[in-house]
Amino acid sequence: MLEITLIKTLTKLIASLHGEEAKPVVIYYLNDEKQPRLSAFTVDDDKVDDNKTETSVSTSLQPTIINCFQSGEICRLTNTNHANHMFYPLKNANGQIASVIGIAYPPSDIHSEITISMVLQIYQNYTNLINDNECDTLTGLLNRKTFEYRINKVLAHNSSSTKRREDKPDQAYFLAIFDIDHFKRVNDVFGHLIGDEVLLMFAQLMRQCFRESDPLFRFGGEEFVGVFECSHEEDIKMILERFRLKVAQFSFPQVDKVTVSAGCTRISDFDTSSQLMDRADSALYFAKNHGRNRIAIYEQLIMDGELHEVKKEGDIEFF
């Protein structure tokens, strides 16, 4: 993950500049803009893994950090210990503030501030180049060609996690395919410009409803894909239903009401991306053929006898 690499790089840089006085580099996330709740993480540079360690957020720093998220500007705070705290906003592919980097400097350390600002500008430019290559130009979501790489990372992580399943026994990953109902009718009646507006608003609703850590893709046309991690298997239905309701209740410009259908499947340890897509697509097909504006979970359909799974030489066929 690029953010982890950035924090490790900054940690080494700060240590080289300040020695034993160096403070940990902290990355902050704002979990709810309406009722701001901050979470903070550090990274142990001595560890080879890419795990972040959650840490507490100082009450005295919170207003400045939140201001950095809201303003999108670099913010400074000098506390009672006479240390300069600098907060640097990092933008995502849509130009929104995804996280804030917090670094503490000794007083009047202008050289360090300039150096760190240059490193962060290079990082932001680099991520912008990556985003241009990986993201859909209309919606800003990840594009189809990025899907294979991202889903293979999830599959590899899921497979390696089987040996540590006792640590997170209820951890589960799911893939869902979303399809806007009767989207061709939107284009035919209102035109492609309005159709593009619907796609753009739909993508924004996805970002609002799902977590920043959930990879969201536009596959083309009115088809979207999401990959989700849930603490409990039953949670995915609730999460997807909440999104379905959000779309159904939203008033789209000129078109007014639009609905979405989705098919979802659990990611198993030895799945391939094509198997996942086949299962989720079968669930989506079921949802489309049973009234639309609904969520269908593949595994539940199998249990209920609504779909039948037949395995032949490693492939899955549906009847």
Q: What is the pLDDT of residues 57-79, one digit of tens each?
A: 888 889 999 999 999 999 988 86
Q: Which two tokens stand for residue 319?
A: 């009847």
Active site residues: 222
Q: In angstroms, rounded to a whole number, what is the distance separating the alpha carbons of residues 100 and 41?
A: 11
**Domains of the chain, first to last:** 1-134 (3.30.450), 144-160+167-304 (3.30.70.270)
The pLDDT value recorded for residue 318 is 47
Q: In angstroms, rounded to a whole number, what is the distance separating the alpha carbons of residues 74 and 7?
A: 17
Pairing of strands 260-266, 295-297: parallel
pLDDT 10s digit of each residue in the chain, 319 long?
Answer: 678 888 888 888 888 877 766 788 899 988 765 566 788 888 876 554 456 788 888 888 899 999 999 999 999 888 656 678 899 999 876 678 889 999 988 766 777 788 888 999 888 888 877 777 788 888 989 998 889 888 888 888 777 655 455 555 567 899 999 999 999 999 999 999 999 999 999 999 999 899 878 899 999 899 999 999 887 778 999 999 999 999 999 999 899 999 999 999 999 888 888 999 999 999 999 999 999 999 999 999 999 999 887 564 445 454 4
Phi first, then psi: what are they for 281, rounded to 5°? -65, -35
Q: In angstroms, rounded to a whole number, what is the distance separating the alpha carbons of residues 304 and 131?
A: 42
**Is the C-alpha dihedral spanning 33, 236, 173, 204 positive or negative?**
negative
Statement: the pTM of the whole predicted model exceeds 0.75: no
Under a CB-based contact definition with an 8 Å cutoff, are residues 261 and 294 in contact? yes
Q: Whats the size of the chain, residue-wise?
A: 319
Q: In angstroms, rounded to a whole number, what is the distance separating the alpha carbons of residues 266 and 270?
A: 12
